Structure 1
Amino acid sequence: MRVAPRWWIGILVWIAYVVVVFTVGLLSGVPYDQYGDSGDTLFRGPVLFLAAGAVLLVIATSVLGWWKPALRDERRSRHAWPIIAPALMAVAIVISLTAGVDWSGIDGGYLAGLLLLGALVGFNEELVTRGILLTSLRGTVREVWVWFTTSALFGLMHATNLFSGQDLLPTLQQMGIAFLGGTAFYIVRRVSGSLIWAMVLHGAWDFTTFAVGHAPGAVAFGPLLGTIAQALALVFVFWTFRSKGEDAAPAESAVGTVRTSAG
């Protein structure tokens, strides 16, 4: 790493990202409540400001030299079973895409916009929170606070929607759901050891959310299952803070001490 991780570096990058995305979003002239209306509004709105955010994050990560720690956990979670929660989110996505979306109502332009939106959301929001911010916090605070801070700031990112025309109550609900979703994505990173899978799940989730909102199908069970999965993630996450091999070093040290004493 070119720059040693410091907690304030991650906060600064997070602030810069939020400012860039919010500013470009305002300059686009597309109101928040029209983002999902058509392929045109998708491209001129979220795809545009997310692309600007992606450029910022690529530059920041490269300058810091943090690509490796941002994208990979050297030590995975000691317990793998908490992956059940994000796995249920994946099931919810499949249900929604197969029965919760009326694909006849989605044309080629809208689909292209959705694909770009999903890819950019997954890449940007995971890299800035559970990538750069997570890297900056580790070594400074305990892992439980790494999870809480990254998930809380992920939720807080959505507060900007209030200034883009969204009402207060839906914004608060969105922030709370984002905190839960961020917890599920954190579990994916800790269990798999890779941020890439969290990016994929995150992007697929937002892709599905916009698709269902634009052309709802006959089955609405998918979003409910996804919400249940995210709530479970809040419980399961507490089993992910300890890493594999964490007890090995103390144990080996103790054995070495006994042998030295015996000698």
Structure 2
Amino acid sequence: MPNALRVTPRVWIGFAIWVGYLVVIFAMQRVTGVPYTELGESGENLFFGVGLSLIVGTVLLAITTSLLGWWRPALFDAARSRHRWPLIAPFAMAVLLVVNLAVTDWAAYDAAFFGASIVLLLVGFTEELTTRGLLLVGLRSRLSEPWVWFLTTLAFALMHYVNVLTGQDFLPTTLQVGYAFLGGTIFYILRRTTGSLVWAMVLHGFWDFSTFSSGYGETSPLVGLTATLYGVVGLFALVAVWWTFRSAAQSDVPNVMAARPAV
């Protein structure tokens, strides 16, 4: 089948987009001058410290994906995973998300802070499209699926080291990176088992929103429990992910070169 993509997928293009996204996010956060440790102090800090960079990142990623013609392979797999049971991991994560929202001190929110926190949902679109979308398309042009999972998940986890440059200490950031690798594996499983990145975008966005909201105001003791259980679910995902590498239709995932760009 002839190549229907505007630009042929290449590994270097995927990594170039990943680096470009990090540069944009870091530059925007440095310009606004809000330290990472002060994001939760006000709606203004949250919007200018994170929200504004996510808005800019969303626009630039949408333009980039359109110019490449990679919307279809970035958002959809032509064939889903042969096994569905690994969905246990993202389902469990969704349950923990609901618990976080249930124990959130919503009375502590004012309109400005709530509005700024809603913008955080864009993190699901930007980080998923960058790593398990565009980078994944580039990697699939040359690498087997286990390597695609590992490198996209590692790239997603390492993105969080930007927080060191914006004010967070190295050790808690390293812990955050480790948890991000577990979470990234869960999001990868969700893509492979459903055949769509959209569900991972939704789960990712609401998960970040729930963890942030549950830590604002008066914090419930259940927040620490959900964080611990999240680690357990992530470890389960590290095992379950090996059953997602083969598709239901064939012995390997479809070649992205055969995918057609979305209309």
TM-score with structure 2 length normalisation? 0.91
Q: Is the 8 A contact 1:88 1:225 kept in 2?
A: no
**Which piece of structure 1 moves more, 183-192 or 156-165?**
156-165
> Which residue of structure 2 aligns with residue 61 of structure 1?
65
> Which residue of structure 1 aligns with residue 234 of structure 2?
230
Amino acid at match of 2:107: S
Shift of 1:102: 1.2
Match of 1:177 among 172, 176, 179: 179
Shift of 1:145: 0.3
The C-alpha deviation readout for 1:189-208, integer Å capped at 9, x for no partner, is: 00011111000000011001
2:26 aligned counterpart, secondary structure: helix
Q: Is the 8 A contact 1:155 1:179 kept in 2?
A: yes
2:189 aligned counterpart, secondary structure: helix
The C-alpha deviation readout for 1:136-176, integer Å capped at 9, x for no partner, is: 11130000000000000001111111111111111111111
Q: Is the 8 A contact 1:37 1:214 kept in 2?
A: no
Q: How does 1:174-213 map to 2 (within 5 A)?
A: 174-213=176-215
1:36 aligned counterpart, secondary structure: helix
**Residue 260 (structure 2) pairs with residue 244 (structure 1):** no
Q: Share of identical aligned residues, percent?
A: 52
1:214 aligned counterpart, secondary structure: coil
Amino acid at match of 2:131: T
Shift of 1:134: 0.4
d(CA) in 1 for partners of 2:160 and 2:43?
22
Write 1 or 2 for the structure with the bigger share of helix: 1
Shift of 1:232: 1.2
> Which residue of structure 2 aligns with residue 103 of structure 1?
106
Match of 2:147 among 145, 166, 188: 145
Shift of 1:26: 0.3
Shift of 1:227: 2.2
> Which residue of structure 2 aligns with residue 132 of structure 1?
134
Shift of 1:115: 1.2
Shift of 1:225: 2.1
**Residue 115 (structure 2) pairs with residue 112 (structure 1):** yes
Match of 1:123 among 122, 125, 131: 125
1:35 aligned counterpart, secondary structure: helix
Higher relative contact order (CA 8 A, sep 6+): 2
Q: How does 1:10-25 map to 2 (within 5 A)?
A: 10-25=14-29
Match of 1:154 among 144, 153, 156: 156
2:41 aligned counterpart, secondary structure: coil
Check 1:190–1:247 CA distance in 2 against 1; reply closer, same or farther (3 A cut): closer
d(CA) in 2 for partners of 1:233 and 1:95?
20
d(CA) in 2 for partners of 1:138 and 1:233?
21
CA root-mean-square deviation? 1.3
Shift of 1:247: 5.1
d(CA) in 1 for partners of 2:227 and 2:63?
35
Shift of 1:218: 4.9
Residue-pair matches, total: 246
> Which residue of structure 2 aligns with residue 86 of structure 1?
90
2:135 aligned counterpart, secondary structure: helix
> Which residue of structure 2 aligns with residue 214 of structure 1?
216
> Which residue of structure 2 aligns with residue 71 of structure 1?
75
Q: Unaligned stretches of 5+ in structure 2? A: 253-263
Amino acid at match of 1:8: W
